[in-house]
Structure 1
Amino acid sequence: MLDRIEKTCFRHKGGLRPNVMALLYCQLAYFGGAALILSMNPVLMAAGTLAMAHGMVIASYMIHECGHNTVFKSPRHNAMLGGALNWLAGGCYGSYEDLRSVHMKHHVDNADVGGLDYRGYLTRHPVQLKIVEALEWLYVPVVEFFMHGALILAPFLVREKKDQRSRIVGTIAVRFGLLLALLLYSPLAFACYLAAYAILVTVLRFMDALQHNYDNIITSAGRAGLAERREDQDYEQSHTFSNLISTRYPWLNLLTLNFGYHNAHHSRPTAPWHELPKLHEALYGNAANVVIPFGKQLASFHKGRVARVLGDPSETQGNRFGQRLRDGSAVGATGVSFLTPL
Structure 2
Amino acid sequence: MKAQSSVFRQADALIPTALAVLYVLSGYVFGFYGILSDAISLNILGILLLAHAMVIAAYLIHEAAHYSVFKSKNHNRWFAEFCLWITGNSYSNFDDIQHKHIRHHIDRADIVSFDFRPILQRHPKFLKLIQILEWAYIPALEVWMHFLVIALPFIKPNRKARRLRVISVLLLRIGFFAGLAMLAPQVLWLYPIAYLLFLTVMRFMDVHQHTYEVYETLDLPRGAESKLRNREFEEHNTYSNLLSVRYPWVNLLVLNFCYHNVHHDQQLQPWYRLPALHQAMYGRDYSQLLTFRHLIKSYHRYRVPRILNGDPINLPIKHNEGETFIGVDGVSFLTAH
What's the TM-score, normalizing by structure 2?
Answer: 0.96
Cα drift, residue 226 of structure 1: 4.4
Cα drift, residue 228 of structure 1: 1.8
Query: Aligned match of 2:313 in 308, 312, 317?
Result: 317
* Letter paired with 1:229: S
Q: Distance in 2 between matches of 1:65 and 1:284?
A: 22
Query: Aligned match of 1:119 in 98, 117, 120?
Result: 117
After superposition, the Cα gap between the structure-2 partners of 1:226 and 1:204, relative to the gap in structure 1 and judged at 3 Å, is: farther
After superposition, the Cα gap between the structure-2 partners of 1:49 and 1:114, relative to the gap in structure 1 and judged at 3 Å, is: same
Query: Aligned match of 1:224 in 215, 221, 226?
Result: 221
Q: Which moved more, 1:227-236 or 1:248-257?
A: 227-236
Q: Distance in 2 between matches of 1:227 and 1:185?
A: 56
Cα drift, residue 156 of structure 1: 0.7
SS at 1:243's partner residue?
strand
Is contact 1:69-1:270 (8 Å) kept? Answer: yes
* Letter paired with 1:224: P
Is contact 1:40-1:189 (8 Å) kept? Answer: no
Residue matched to 2:295 = 297
Is contact 2:256-2:274 (8 Å) kept? Answer: yes
After superposition, the Cα gap between the structure-2 partners of 1:105 and 1:327, relative to the gap in structure 1 and judged at 3 Å, is: closer
5+ long unaligned stretches in structure 1: none
Cα drift, residue 291 of structure 1: 1.1
* Alignment partner of 1:106 is 2:101: no
Could you give the per-residue CA deviations for residues 255-284 of structure 1, whole angstroms, max 9, x where no partner exists?
000000000000111111011111111111
Could you give the per-residue CA deviations for residues 178-206 of structure 1, whole angstroms, max 9, x where no partner exists?
22333343332221111111111000000
Q: Which moved more, 1:58-67 or 1:120-129?
A: 120-129
1:33-48 aligned within 5 A = 33-48=31-46
After superposition, the Cα gap between the structure-2 partners of 1:317 and 1:69, relative to the gap in structure 1 and judged at 3 Å, is: closer
C-alpha RMSD over aligned residues: 1.4
Cα drift, residue 247 of structure 1: 0.9
Query: Aligned match of 1:147 in 141, 145, 148?
Result: 145
Query: Aligned match of 1:12 in 6, 10, 13?
Result: 10
Cα drift, residue 131 of structure 1: 1.2
SS at 1:56's partner residue?
helix
After superposition, the Cα gap between the structure-2 partners of 1:154 and 1:301, relative to the gap in structure 1 and judged at 3 Å, is: same
After superposition, the Cα gap between the structure-2 partners of 1:318 and 1:103, relative to the gap in structure 1 and judged at 3 Å, is: closer
Cα drift, residue 322 of structure 1: 4.1
Query: Aligned match of 2:128 in 114, 127, 130?
Result: 130
What's the TM-score, normalizing by structure 1?
Answer: 0.95
Q: Distance in 2 between matches of 1:317 and 1:50?
A: 36
Residue matched to 1:330 = 325
Is contact 1:240-1:263 (8 Å) kept? Answer: yes
Cα drift, residue 36 of structure 1: 1.7
Residue matched to 2:262 = 264
Residue matched to 1:90 = 88
Cα drift, residue 94 of structure 1: 1.1
Q: Which moved more, 1:226-235 or 1:195-204?
A: 226-235
After superposition, the Cα gap between the structure-2 partners of 1:327 and 1:184, relative to the gap in structure 1 and judged at 3 Å, is: same
Aligned length, in residue pairs: 336
* Letter paired with 1:275: R
1:120-199 aligned within 5 A = 120-199=118-197
